[in-house]
Each structure stands twice: as C-alpha cells, then as structure tokens.
A and B are shown apart, each in its own frame.
Chain A
Amino acid sequence: MELALDFLKNTGFAMADWRYLMMILVGILFCYLSIAKKYEPLLLLPIGFGIIIGNIPFFKGFGLGIYEDNSVLHYLYFGVTSGLYPSIVFLGLGAMTDFSSMLARPKLMLLGAAAQMGIYFTLLSALALGFDPKESASVAIIGGADGPTSIFLTAKLAPHLIGPVAIAAYSYMALIPIIQPPIMRLLTTRRERLIRMPDTERHVSRKELVFFPVVGVLLCCFLAPASIPLLGPFFLGNILKVSGVVDRLAKTASSAVIDTATIFLGFTVGASTQADVFITPKALGIFLLGSIAFSIATASGVLFAKLMNLFLKEKINPLLGAAGVSAVPGSAREVHLTAQKEDPGNYLLMHAMACNASGVIGSAICAGILWSFMMG
C-alpha cells in the first residue's frame, strides 16, 4: 500500500500544477492550429507536441527532462544549443530556394534589407525595457521572422531564452495572415496597392544562378563572418541545387536532411518550454516585443518601398516591402493575396518571393552582425 502511495506521489497527476496544465493546453492549441488550420504545420506540429511532452511533470533527478544531463532529450537538444539544427535547416533551405526571381529583379533586394529594421528597433526597445544586451539581441532577431536564425542567435547569446524566443518567432510566423494585412493596408493607399509590376523580366542564365551562391557567400560572410554558420550551408545548399551535377545531394538536402533537422528542432524547442523554466515575466516581455518586432519589420519594408518610389520612374508596389521579412513563403503569399483583393489580375507572387529570398539573407546577416557586436 505504501509503495502504491509513493508511486502515486511521483506520477504526473500528483506533481502537476496550473503552469504545466497551461503549457499543455498551449501545446494542444499549437497542434490544433497546425492540423486543423494548417498554420505552419511543418513547425507548429513538432513544436506543439514537444510542448506537451516537455510539460509532463516528472520526478527530477531521473535524467528525463531536457535540462537534465544525460537525458535523451538533453542530447537531442544539443543540436539546438550548439546551433547545429539551424545550420542544417539552412542547408536544406538553400537547396529549396530559387533565386532566379531575385536575380531578375535585383532592386527588390533592398526591400529585404529594409524589413530588417524591425530587428534594430526591437533591440532598442528591449534594452529600454531592461533586458541585458545579449538578451535584447536575441529578442530583436524575432523581427527577422526567421525561426532557425532566431534560435541560432539565441542559442549563442542567451540560451535560457531559446524556448520563449522560438515559440514567439514561430507563433508570429504562423500568424502572418493576421498580423501583416492590416499593417499593409494602413500604410498604403488603394492606388499604391493597385500598382502592377512588369511580368516580363530578363531571363536568368544558369551561369548566373551558379555564380550567385559564390558571390553571395563571399560578400555576406566577408561583411559579417559570424553569419557563416547560417549563410555558409545556405549557399552550399543552393549551389548543390543549381549546379545540376549533384542532383542526388540536392534532393537529399532539400528533403531528408532538412526534414530530420526540422523534426528534432521543433520537437526539442517545444520540449524546452518546461513550465517552471518558461513561464516568467521575461517570456511575456519577449512575446510583446516579438509582436512589435514583426510589425515594425513589416512596416519598415512597406515604407522603404514607398521611399524608393520617390526616386524610381517605374514604381514598385509598396506591398512588396512586407515580403522583405524572411518568413518564406508565408509573407510573399500574403502580399500576393492582399494585392489580389484590390485587383484580382495583379500577380505579385514572384516579385514577393524575390523580396522573401533577400529577407532570408538579410536576417542571417543581421544575426551575424548582432553576434559580433555582443562578442566584441
């Protein structure tokens, strides 16, 4: 009888408190959103299930939890804390990215740079709110709207914040259809939203596509060497794809490799949201700042596009600025849909993808720059 009572005391039912139950509900919500609403299912589902698993109360000292040495979860989590999974994800992303749209429209790259202003605005806000500089940089990178980049930088600068930062980053990426359209409409006139972009762009040769990863990695990584762990694999993945001589490697990188990393990344990040570690005032501050970062990033892209229009003969649709955040392809799709609501014949998807691709590079450069600043 005593043995049975002792056992019952050590079950999750006896040890659970409201924080664990709340986090489990959050995990269930994520699973629901990913399955029923199809919001970023590739990431939200592993994260949601990871949250559920990470918040099952257990007896400390058994080597079960993600923060306990020698636990299986801890070993899997090493891929996050070391920055391994984000690098592998970037390799796969590179192998999946088609830069021809961006190479045909180089001026749209500037929108990818402008949308990174949300990062620096949030850096200032986080500092003003009392986060230390490394934490501020980790929170600020949410404005890049790039999950792996956010996780990578946070793992390097403020590993204790990986959970909240990752959850905030992926949550806001999933909420793009809700966050971005009101900002886009608020900052543009109907006339601007009706601007059509030219369909016919010059043909991008295979040689250009092959040269671009080399030029890109040299320029970006010479500028911000700390972005090598992200941009190195990213451009490697891309050259595997465009070279046409290693199709097998490119296919593996863009399927099995990225999928494996995504599963473990999502799962362990979800499991790292253990209630006793996760529910803190700082986590709430991170969620607040994350939403600001994302909104400012969207707004700065749109406003920069309007600024460019002051100097350009052939005007660009300012909605494209919102696709400068690197949430691929969610923000590009949202820009396209917003434009189509005004004019069903206006096709902005390919142009928006150019901004998106540039945003991925931009946010990785920003991560490298911030890392360098904090280490310097």
Chain B
Amino acid sequence: MIFDLSRIAANNGWAMALTGAILVLLGLSLLSLIISQLHKILGFFENQPKSLPVEEIKPTQQASHADLLNDLEATVTLYQSLTAGLGERFDLAQLYRLAHKDQLPHPHLTLRTLRENGFLIASGDGTFSWKNA
C-alpha cells in the first residue's frame, strides 16, 4: 500500500470530504439552534391560550381586595362565605379571626363598614347575623 494523494483527486475525495464535513456541521448547528429555541417556542404556544383567562381573572381578584370597601355587595358575599360554617348567629371576633386568617385586607375596618351600612345586625346578645339571612 503506497500513499498517493493523486488518488484522492481521482476519486473526487476532496469534494466528498469537504461537502460531507460541511453538511454534518451545518446539520448539527441547525439542530442545536432549533433546540436552543425550542423551549421558547413551546413556551410561546403554551402561554398564548392561557393568557386570556389569566388576565381576566387577575384584575377581578385584585379588585375584590383593593376595592373591597367600595364594592360592598362583593364584600358582603365574601364575608358571608366566611360565616357559612358558624351558623345564623355568630360572634364578630370569630368573623374577624377568619378574615384575618384568609388575609383579607383591613378586616376591622370592613366589619365596621358592614355594621354601619346595616349589613351586619346585632342580635342583642353579643352575636350578629346578616341582614338578609
């Protein structure tokens, strides 16, 4: 076996080697580029349909906290859900603790507002009930 470079040219070796090397580099570079972006592409498609309901829900939730005192009906509904397990008559301190536990904003101020607006009615024995209950 004698090493003869002319055989490479005679068999189109240089072109095959160069083209082959470029093709494999190109192919894997492209694949590398695609997989580096794959999570972003998937993330884009994942977020698209979900973004609408999320956007709709979030402002509502924020409003229910921030504008609690301005929207008394919503506040009543929220606080009525807290007293559902306490019975028809309940102690304000109990309601205060539940509101505090659920991290509702300004529970003391809210209870005072609900009383002043007649939503919470004193029973005379230290307990309270809801106006429409």
Contacts and interface: CB of A to CB of B under 8 A. Distances in A.
Interface of A: 102-103, 106-107, 109-110, 112-114, 116-117, 119-121, 123-125, 127-130, 132-133, 136, 202, 204-205, 207-208, 211-212, 215-216, 219-220, 223-224, 281, 285, 358, 361-362, 365-366, 369-370, 373
Contacts, number: 121
Q: Which of B7, B12, B19, B33 has the most A CB atoms < 10 Å from its CB?
A: B7
A211 B35 CA distance: 9
B21 A224 contact: no
A106 B36 contact: yes
A112 B3 CA distance: 29
B17 A215 contact: no
B38 interface: yes
Contacts of B12: 133
Contact of B16 (A106, A204, A219, A373): A373
B31 interface: yes
A349 to B, nearest CB: 20
Nearest to B20: A369
13 contacts: A113-B25, A113-B29, A119-B20, A121-B17, A128-B5, A133-B12, A136-B11, A208-B42, A211-B42, A215-B38, A223-B23, A362-B24, A365-B28
Nearest to A102: B35
B4 interface: yes
B3 A128 contact: yes
Nearest to B14: A124
Contacts of B60: none
B26 to A, nearest CB: 8
A211 to B, nearest CB: 6
B5 to A, nearest CB: 6
A188 B42 CA distance: 39
Give the interface SS of chain B, mostly helix, strand, loop or mixed.
helix
Nearest to B46: A207
B13 interface: yes
B30 interface: yes
The 6 closest A-B pairs by CB, nearest first: A113-B28, A106-B36, A109-B32, A120-B17, A127-B13, A106-B32
A207 B4 CA distance: 52
Nearest to A212: B35
Contacts of A370: 16, 20
Main SS of chain A's interface residues? Answer: helix
B2 interface: yes
Contact of B42 (A116, A130, A205): A205
Given A130-B7, A133-B11, A212 B38 contact: yes
A23 B24 CA distance: 37
A90 B5 CA distance: 36
Nearest to B26: A223
Contacts of A103: 35, 38
Interface residues of B, number: 35
Nearest to B3: A128
Contact of A117 (B5, B19, B21): B21
Residue of A110, A113, A117 with most partner-chain B CB within 10 A: A113
Given A128-B3, A130-B7, A205 B27 contact: no
Contacts of A127: 7-8, 11, 13
Contact of A365 (B27, B34, B36, B38): B27
Contact of A373 (B2, B20, B38): B20
Contacts of A373: 16, 19-20
B38 A219 contact: no
A128 B6 CA distance: 7
Contact of B28 (A120, A132, A133, A358): A358
Nearest to B2: A130
B35 to A, nearest CB: 5
A358 B35 CA distance: 12
Given A205-B42, A207-B42, A124 B17 contact: yes
A123 B16 CA distance: 9
Given A124-B13, A127-B13, A215-B34, A285 B1 contact: yes
Given A117-B21, A219-B27, A361-B28, A106 B11 contact: no
B94 to A, nearest CB: 44
Nearest to B21: A120
Interface in B31-82: 31-36, 38-39, 42, 46
Contacts of A216: 31
